[in-house]
Amino acid sequence: METCVIRLRMSQADAHYGGNLVDGAKMLQLFGDVATELLIRNDGDEGLFAGYDSTQFLAPVYAGDYIEACGRIVKIGNSSRRMEFEARKVIVSKPEISDSAAEILEEPIVVCRAVGTCVVPKEKQRFKNKQIA
């Protein structure tokens, strides 16, 4: 089963609330990017995100944290693609030490999980007969 992983640092521009807290919607934006890559790999088309069936915000994310977002297609319909996503904090900012201190986490912290469905219209599907193994 093919997965996609992206990793990036949350910047000051991502901080939306006091204390440099990043908006949970940023995790959903990352999941959208993961979904797009999965659809391109599976169908040769970006497709469209139809909606989330569930989202869970499990831990805070702050500016300076590194987030790894991953996803996989778990079910393929005629035009729908059901996907599962997870975002993990892998590096944390340590402002209490210094303004540039950071630490690699021995064990990543799951910050968000979601399940959603994307759609690739049949006429835009370029790769046929893909199946979930």
pLDDT tens across 34-75, in order?
A: 999 999 999 999 999 999 999 999 999 999 999 999 999 999
Q: Which residues, in sequence order, are CB contacts of 6 under 8 Å at separation 6+? A: 30, 33, 34, 37, 68, 69, 70
Residues 107-113 have a mean pLDDT of: 98
Better pLDDT: 2 or 88: 88
Q: Which pLDDT score, from 0 to 100, does residue 76 have?
A: 93
Percent of the chain with pLDDT over 90: 79
* Model pLDDT, residue 132: 61
Q: Which has more pLDDT, 20 or 89? A: 89
pTM tops 0.85, yes or no: yes
Tokens standing for residue 72: 């996989």
Mean pLDDT of 89-95: 93
Q: Return the sign of the alpha-carbon dihedral for residues 36, 39, 45, 48.
A: negative
Domains of the chain and any CATH numbers:
3-124 (3.10.129.10)
Contact 69, 31 (CB under 8 A): yes
Closest CA to 115 of 55, 72, 65, 69: 55
